[in-house]
Structure 1
């Protein structure tokens, strides 16, 4: 099920992740721009800085078919219409000329209405499959404009009523008389002029026709348009490209030589190029266990955003940079490893463009109280860990002894009757190659948000069980908690942290005490963490790769409220495409509600499970682990 209601009762709108991802793919294909994203706003609009097309919320709360076709029509207009065929320079010239008009907003709305009609006709001529969606769009919007016409006329908004009437005349024909409230306007003459809408070929022609219509009605109307029906978004309506302004700020000498972009596509690609240039991943590190000793910096070199990482940042360092002091303080005795803060850029999804992240190895030093608790848990888990390890070893032994029969060469079978009965006998067999160990690798992400505080101990117990089973089976695994610093997060920078309890290279190392040192922090940015761990798993050579996520709620971080669910679902989808199985365990102190189950099914598909209470975390973890290990042992 891909549609659920949000938990927050005062904002219980639906989040339809799979459909939004579908619309995103359609938009990317039509626009030939794999970097664009889809969101919803009051009106359809463009957000070039975020590489986003916005569908209109107008289609919500309707039948499923109307909503789907209506949103498709928005996508067609956004990606195949205005994006490629709208002359942005001509529109800006028109807007500049209309500044002296008594009703500049009305003029702009009329031109956009004409352009919408022109582009709908053009798209349907080249893409016949869009006709059904546009037919539904016209039908629904015609009813909307009929209602708005009556409402605007009653309230005295004659400019808005005029736009409603013009839409109906152009899209549904001019068979009926204009509304009586417009009697003071030369509607017959307007209708004659509006007939030219069927012959429009360019944006400039739409602007000229809009001017002719304005010349006919401008004197008779007393007020400008109040309720907008069309918008491009503030990026275009400021009259000057934001991308152009940003480049002018970085190099004022270029501002006089800038040319207006001819299409919205050029504007988007200019923003995209600038974002790519300014947001490379400048530092990348492989996480390894620290080694005691001083670092040799004799061969150090300046950073380069296009260069690949070739060196590990281990141990402590000294410097005058106050902001980096906290991150640079680390113990070099193998207990901690720190990675310099890295800017995510566009490598981890558009929603995380302003994220910075650092990686820290949690100390594996024992504390008296936690050491006693760890020993107690392990004593309790010992029988079930032994049982599971024995079960997996038996599976591997059976796999080792299995024979492949009916072969043309190999060992001669004791059953030779096929030599007499078969025309082409195959009396040979072969044993399978020995399987000493499981060819699998696991990555475990543990939600480190503040909501985990009341269930930290139970989570630690479940993670310890996970770690002990895989360690006994000599299966490589990495355990990491992730969180965002909510107090330091701003619009431009969102600091994220990965605290690693156990690394892939520590297969035989007991990291139980590092797990015991896990603590809850602030927010969680799930989609970002999934992509980060997926990158680490993708570089592994094992045949079976599993990514497990332990979390207790929906994603919550700066600017990541509504699109967090969609982004997480997209991250899961991307990870599965890379051959990595994503499994989610919902950590809840109470039995999950239907809404909660639906939400996590939306993000993680059918690979999500939930425990009925905090006491069941470890049991549920064991159940999931047994299934995944059985898959790897086949």
Structure 2
């Protein structure tokens, strides 16, 4: 796990995950494509293979108003402009040309289309005008500065791009008499109605510019993203015979391009499933089904009998342990290549002396908390009360006739009941936890003992990713249970004392995995606690890991699951670190300023959560 205190301070970029999530929702709504993701890159880009639109980091390090309006203008431009009104066939034909100065040609066309589509969006959606006004003001200032610098250095093609942008915004700059005719042609873009109109203007400009310029543009002010020629892969399955068909239909819009990629990605498993269901003879191994053991029982179930044949949970766990599962798009797009293993954490060695010492140290805290909580629970069990102004109407109605101010109502005794709550604890199992293991074990043991004392169902799971086996094709993740819901009040102190540090941590995936278990619970109050000592860090899970984790927390809240985060640090926490974790977990993130405070903060989290349950009970 990487620390928030990165080595290179000037590269210590913090992502506003809440803002990025809002942009993602906006993009999905404007494009009517809820599958769209939003990422950040140097320039605005279209990335259909990732189902992603990329907004530009150009807007960072500015005022909040400018930053937000800048990102909004990027989204408007792509999701409400390029999405349906950019002609892909015209772009492909334009790209096929072997004309000189290809970078300059392409950037001029994208500049022209940005102008055309911006004006079109403002006319159709007047509410977008403020964002585009901010965009044009900031970019005009930027291009004026770039014009001066490129002019001094003699980068004429780059100067032409800067001047072209400024001319469309009504700002005149002097490139010399030879270029006057170019800008006269360039102003025809004010009448452009389609991508083909823009192409014609750019081609006329380039027919003259290629004789005035010696070199192509050096800087990139515009980029399209992935090549428009890049088609989604065909998912072939052995059981399906190739069908003869006409030439594939030409994809003409960005929307169709993204949909084709999304459709292929979503349906990658469909051909195999369809063939398996319809034919029933797919080759599971050499020699077909029979070599797999057609008569083998694939599933088992428990019955009510008390006989010795009743299957125990250990056997189920062993069966589960041998069956790794694929994420298959169920746990966020950043985790599509994850393969996860679920197992019981194995006890290593005898930890009874350590456990006895920890429990002796924690006993006063545990007893005090249990006593306080049980007292609060008892106080809510009110005895029957008579002669009230409101409540249930008594059968003894005589006071209504003989008393001036009768009180014929009563309240019944509140029935005693257990806490209607369930808790899950996710423990970061990354390598950076190595120097904090003892404190973590003590805090987890405290969590376990308090909830056992209150008969509250809970789970405790260690999660980590195998960094050495992770690749583009597969990222193995592991969940190791120390305690499961089914274990009820069984003591698993030995398992807790055996937890160990491993490699990486994929927090967003782990939270979604636990959410999928919690949302099946019927308890009124569902809590998920995450113990970690830094930001998410796993294979291809750097910047998008922070966003993925924030999105996972937001999804949990929508499902009625309260996510609490405890940040463990061996040093005093900085304001930057605190802000970073609030960005992912909201105001439900707390920190232990020292290892000694870890147990104390765990106790505080539990106490606050359980008080909430009792008060609402």
TM-score range, shorter chain: 0.7 to 0.9
The equivalent position to 1:241 in structure 2, one of 220, 227, 230, is 230
Q: Name the residue aligned to 1:367.
A: 349
SS of equivalent residue, structure 2 residue 212? coil
Q: 1:334 to 1:269 in 2, by over 3 A?
A: closer
Deviations 1:34-72 (A, max 9, x none): 121212111100111211111111112222222221111
Q: Name the residue aligned to 1:110.
A: 108
Q: 1:212-251, aligned counterparts within 5 Å?
A: 212-233=204-225, 235-236=226-227, 239-243=228-232, 245=233
Instruction: Quote the Cα distance in structure 2 between the aligned partners of 1:113 and 1:523.
Output: 43
1:127 aligns with 2:128: no
Q: 1:413 to 1:213 in 2, by over 3 A?
A: farther
Instruction: Quote the Cα distance in structure 2 between the aligned partners of 1:520 and 1:623.
Output: 25
The equivalent position to 2:329 in structure 1, one of 332, 346, 369, is 346
Instruction: Quote the Cα distance in structure 2 between the aligned partners of 1:201 and 1:337.
Output: 60
1:351 deviation in Å?
1.2
Instruction: Quote the Cα distance in structure 1 between the aligned partners of 2:301 and 2:263.
Output: 30
Q: Is the 8 A contact 1:5 1:14 kept in 2?
A: no
Instruction: Quote the Cα distance in structure 2 between the aligned partners of 1:457 and 1:414.
Output: 66
Q: 1:82-231, aligned counterparts within 5 Å?
A: 82-96=82-96, 98-99=97-98, 101-172=99-170, 176=172, 178-180=173-175, 182-185=176-179, 187=180, 189-231=181-223
Q: Is the 8 A contact 1:441 1:545 kept in 2?
A: yes
1:192 deviation in Å?
3.1
The equivalent position to 1:622 in structure 2, one of 603, 607, 610, is 603
Q: Name the residue aligned to 2:265.
A: 275
SS of equivalent residue, structure 1 residue 172? coil
Q: Is the 8 A contact 1:482 1:524 kept in 2?
A: yes
Q: Is the 8 A contact 1:555 1:565 kept in 2?
A: yes
Task: With the length of structure 2 as denominator, give the TM-score of the two structures.
Answer: 0.87
SS of equivalent residue, structure 1 residue 241? coil
Q: Name the residue aligned to 1:564.
A: 545
Deviations 1:295-329 (A, max 9, x none): x994657xxxxxxxx7689xxxxxxxxxxxxxxxx
Q: Is the 8 A contact 1:412 1:429 kept in 2?
A: no
Q: Is the 8 A contact 2:14 2:580 kept in 1?
A: no
Q: Name the residue aligned to 1:496.
A: 477
Instruction: Quote the Cα distance in structure 2 between the aligned partners of 1:35 and 1:384.
Output: 48
Q: Name the residue aligned to 1:442.
A: 423
Instruction: Quote the Cα distance in structure 2 between the aligned partners of 1:455 and 1:366.
Output: 18
Q: Name the residue aligned to 1:259.
A: 249
1:412 deviation in Å?
6.4
Q: Where in structure 2 are there 5+ consecutive unaligned residues?
A: 274-292, 303-312
Q: 1:556 to 1:542 in 2, by over 3 A?
A: same
1:541 aligns with 2:522: yes
Q: Where in structure 1 are there 5+ consecutive unaligned residues?
A: 284-295, 302-309, 314-329
Q: Name the residue aligned to 2:372.
A: 391
Q: Name the residue aligned to 2:308.
A: none
Instruction: Quote the Cα distance in structure 1 between the aligned partners of 2:193 and 2:516.
Output: 48
1:427 deviation in Å?
3.0
1:120 deviation in Å?
0.3
The equivalent position to 1:401 in structure 2, one of 382, 386, 390, is 382
Q: Name the residue aligned to 1:80.
A: 80
Q: Is the 8 A contact 1:6 1:15 kept in 2?
A: no
Q: Name the residue aligned to 2:39.
A: 39
SS of equivalent residue, structure 2 residue 178? coil
Q: Is the 8 A contact 1:548 1:585 kept in 2?
A: yes
Instruction: Quote the Cα distance in structure 1 between the aligned partners of 2:327 and 2:573.
Output: 34
Instruction: Quote the Cα distance in structure 2 between the aligned partners of 1:333 and 1:108.
Output: 60
1:616 deviation in Å?
2.3
Give RMSD over aligned pairs: 3.0
Task: With the length of structure 1 as denominator, give the TM-score of the two structures.
Answer: 0.84
Instruction: Quote the Cα distance in structure 2 between the aligned partners of 1:530 and 1:254.
Output: 46
Instruction: Quote the Cα distance in structure 2 between the aligned partners of 1:55 and 1:23.
Output: 9
Q: Name the residue aligned to 1:26.
A: 26
Deviations 1:489-522 (A, max 9, x none): 1122111110111001111211111111111101
Instruction: Quote the Cα distance in structure 1 between the aligned partners of 2:229 and 2:375.
Output: 70
Q: Is the 8 A contact 1:279 1:346 kept in 2?
A: no
Q: Is the 8 A contact 1:449 1:483 kept in 2?
A: yes
SS of equivalent residue, structure 2 residue 130? helix
1:488 deviation in Å?
1.0
Instruction: Quote the Cα distance in structure 2 between the aligned partners of 1:275 and 1:119.
Output: 30
Instruction: Quote the Cα distance in structure 2 between the aligned partners of 1:419 and 1:618.
Output: 62
Q: 1:477-516, aligned counterparts within 5 Å?
A: 477-516=458-497
SS of equivalent residue, structure 1 residue 400? coil
Q: 1:248 to 1:397 in 2, by over 3 A?
A: closer
SS of equivalent residue, structure 1 residue 379? helix
Q: Is the 8 A contact 1:545 1:579 kept in 2?
A: yes
Instruction: Quote the Cα distance in structure 1 between the aligned partners of 2:156 and 2:112.
Output: 19
1:150 deviation in Å?
2.0
